A and B are shown apart, each in its own frame.
Chain A
Amino acid sequence: MTLVVVVVLLAVFVMVVGGAVLVRARRYPELEPPDIQAAAEPLVADREVLPPPVVTPELAAAVEAEAPPLPARPRMRDRLGKARGLITGYVGSVLSRSGIDDASWDDIEEALIRADVGVATTGTLIDSLRQRVKSDSLDTPEQLLSALRDQLKSDLAVEDRRLHLADTGTNVWLFVGVNGVGKTTTIGKLGLRQAAEGNRVVMAAGDTFRAAAAEQLQVWAERVGADLVRGAEGGDPGAVVFDAVQRAAARGADLVLADTAGRLHTKVNLMEELRKVHRVAQRDPGVVSEVLLVIDATTGQNGLAQAREFAEAVGVTGVVLTKLDGTAKGGIVLAIQAELGIPVKLVGVGEGPEDLIDFDPDEFVDALFAA
C-alpha cells in the first residue's frame, strides 16, 4: 500500500519537479551560446593550444616505441578472415543438404541472429528470401545462399557513402557514441589518413570528462602530425571544439576532427550537452559536414537504440563500425540502415593507425559468406 502512495507521489513529484527540469532543459540552449561568443577571445588565450610538435629524435623514438609497427593497408577480406569461421559453419551446413528445407531456413536464421542482425531484421530478411525462392523457383542451397548474399548487399547499398567536405568554411567531423567504442582511436586513424592525403588536420579533445582522454588523443596527434586543441579536464567541451575551429580557420587547416566524451544515449543531460557541442561547432566559420556515430561491432541490439537516440539528438550522417577484427559481425548495422537510413562509412579493424577501411557492402557480405 505504501508503494502505491510512493508511486503516485513520485509521479506527482516528477510532474512538479520534472516539469521544471524539462522546461529548464529547453531553456538551456538559450543560455550558452552568448557565453561562448563573449568569451571567445579570452578563452583562446586560456586554452592550452599546442603547436605542431617539433619532432626531436627522442620524441620520434618514444612515439615509435609506443606505436605498433605499421602494416600494409589492410583489405576487408583479410581482416575479417579470422572471424569467418562462424558463418562458414552455417553456410557449410546449408550447402551440405540436397535442397532447401526447413533446416536450411533454421540455419540461416540462426546464422543471422548470431551475427547480431536481430530478430526483427532477420525475420524481414527471411520473408524476402522466401518470396524470392518462390518467385524465382530456387531449389538448390547454392542459389539460396546467393540470394541471401544479394539481399544483404542490396539492403546495405547506398548511393553516397563518402565522407563529405564542404567547399567553404572550416569542416568539422564530429565523433559521437557511447563509452568505449573507439572514437578517439578512430580520430587518430583518420588523422593519419587525412595527413597522407595532404590535408591539414586539427584534433579537438572534446572529451573533457574522462581521465586522461586528452592525453590519449595527444599521443595520436603526435603520431600523425596534427594540431591538437585541448581544454581543462572537466571544462566545457563546446568551448574546446569552438577553439579548434577558430584555430583551424586561422591556420588554414582543412578539417577539424572533434572528439566527444562517450555517453550513454539514455542520459538526457549528456545528450543535451552533445546537442550544444554540435551547435557550437556550427558557429561561423565551422561547418559540421559529418556526424559520425561510432559503434562497436560487438554490440547487440542496443546498437539500434544508440543510433536512434544519437540520430535524434544531433543527426548522424554515418556509422563507423569498430573492432571488426574480433569475432563479432556487427550485424546491427543492417537494422540501423533499414530503420534510420544511416550508412556505414568506415570500419575499424584494429588498434593501429592503419587499421581503418572504407566500408564496402559487397566485400563485407562476401567476406562473411565465403565458404
Chain B
Amino acid sequence: MMNSLARNIELPQAPDNTATSDLTLQISGLTVRRGGTELLRDISFAIPRGGTLGLIGESGAGKSMIGRAIARHLPAGFVVESGEIRLAGRNLLDLPEAAHRQLLGRRIAFIPQEPMSALNPVYTIGAQFREHLLRNGCPRNEVRERTVEALAEMRLREPRTLLDKYSFQLSGGMCQRVLIALAFCTNPELVIADEPTASLDVTTQAHIVRLLRQMQENYGISILFITHQLRLAAHFCDDVAVLYAGEVTEYGKAMDVLSAPKHPYSIGLSGANPRFAGKKGPLISMVGKMPSIEELPSLQGCRFVTRCASATPECGVAVPAIRDIGGHLVRCLVPQAQPLTEEAPPFVTDRNTADAPVLTVDGVSKVFGGGFLKSKHPFVAVSNASLSIHPGEFVGIVGESGSGKSTLARIIMGLEQPSSGVIRLDGRQIGASPEEWRRRISAIQYIFQDPNSALNPRRRLYSLVTQPLEATGESKSQRRVAANDLLNDVGLAAEFGERYPAQLSGGQKQRVNIARALCARPRIVIADEIASGLDASVQAQILTLLQRLRAEYNVALLMISHDLAVVRHLCDRIIVMYRGEIVESGATEDVFASPVHPYTRDLIAAIPSESAEVSWPPEILS
C-alpha cells in the first residue's frame, strides 16, 4: 500500500508531455484487487484530445478489465483499490452512481468485441438507434435523420433500408459498422473499442480501422483501442501501452515501440509474429505462459520474470519502477536493445517438388442444397478446384470466411462428399469402399480447428494421442509407450498422459490435437486454422513445432488459414480462394511479390506491416 502510494506521486505522463487540461482520459496508479491479489497493478496512461491509445496484451493480461473499470462494470469481488480515472480532469471514481451512468453513452461510448451478439436480435437497427438517441437527449423529430446520417458516415449503403433490418440479416462487418455508428452518434469524448476487429476478416478489419480513423479525424474523439495485435495497434494508434499480467510493461509512441521495443516481453511479442516482408526467419517463441490469477501473489517482483531470458536475481525481488529508456517508458531492470535470439530449429524453406505429387485434387465442386423440389437455393461452396501436393511440401490455402477453404479441406479428408471431381492419392482415385477409407486415413490426417471440440473430454491424453492405434488393436502398454513418444514430439512431458483435456491450456490442447494426427504417421496433414485463436506467443510455439516436425518426418502440410503472415512464414506454395474458386496459386514468394488477382492484392494490403515506414491501412481498397 505504502509502496503504491509512493509510486503514485510521480505520475508518468504521456511521452509527449501534453498539458493535463488537454487530456481526455488520464488513468494514474489504477490498482484493481480481488481478495489479496492485485489484478491490475499501478496502471497509468493518458490519452490527449483526439488521440488514440492502443492497449496491447494477450488474453488474460487484464486489458478488458481497464475498460470495465472505466464503465464501473467490474465482475463481483473485484474492487478498485487505488488510483484515479480522470475524464477531462474529473475523477470518475468519485462520481455518484447516477452521475457516472449519465456519462456512459453520452461522453464515453463503447464498441464491443462481438458485433453479432452486441446488437439485440429482436429490435430493428432503427429501434436501437432510436432508444440510444432519445436516452441521450436527441429531439424526437431528429432521431431518424441523425440515424441515417450516422449510418451513411459508416459508408453503409442505403442506410434508410437498414433501419428496418435486424442484426441477424447483416454480416459481421456490417454489424460492427452499425455499432461504430451507434457509438459515435452521440458525439462522445472518448470511445473505448474492445477488440473491435477480432472476429472479422482481415480485409474487413482494414475497412473498419480506416472508418474509425476517419471518424476520429472528423470529430476529434479520443479512442482507447484494446487489442492483442501489436502491429495493428502500432499502425492505428498514436501511443501504445503493452500490458502483461495486469501491469503496463512498456508505454510510448506506437512506432517507437513497434520498431524498437525495449521490454523483453514486447520484444518477444513482436518476434513471435511471423514477418510479413523481407527474409523469412525463425520465430521467437517465449517459454511458458502468462501467470494465472492464482499464481500472481507468489510473484513478488517483475511479473514477467518466469519467462524472461535475461532475468537477474534482483528481478524477482522488487517490482521494477517504470522509467524512461530511449524515448519510452519501460518497466524493466534489464531492458534490451537487441531482439532476443534463440537456438532456432532447422528452417526448411525449399523443397524438391520434382517427385510425383502424393495428392491431386482435380476439378472438385461442392454444391449445398438445391435439387428437385427443394426450396433452398443451391449454394456453390467450392467450384472446380484443382491442386496437388508433393511429398513434404507445405501448401497454404487462404481466403475470407465463406470462401470454401474449409469445405475443400473436408472434401479432401473425406468428411464431405464432392458434388463432382476426383481426388487421387498416389495417382489412384480414392473410392468409397471401407478399404479405400483406410487407405485415405493412413495417408491423410486432419487437425481440427478447435481442440475443445476435437478432443473427447472424457478421455485421458495418452488415449487421445494414440486413438489411431485403437483400430489396430495395440495393447494398453504399447499405447502408453507410443503416447510418450508422441507427447515428447509435440513438447509435452510424459506425465501429461494421465491428464484430461480440461486440465490443459489452449496451446497445450492444440499440441495434443497435432500429436494425434501424427500418430498414424500420415504423409499429408490438413490443418484447419490451427494457429488462429491462439495468442501470438503460443501461435509461435505451434508454428515452430510444425517446422520441426517437417524436418523430422518429411510430412506434407495443407494449411488453411486467413492469416497471410502465418502462411508466408510456413508454406512453400499458396492457394488463394475467393467465393468458392481458386483465384490464384503459386510459389509463396512469387504470389507475395507480384499478386495478380485483385482479391489477393486486397488481402496482402490488408495486413498491417511490421515496418513503421509502410503506412496502413491503405487508402484505396476495392
* Physical interaction between A and B: no
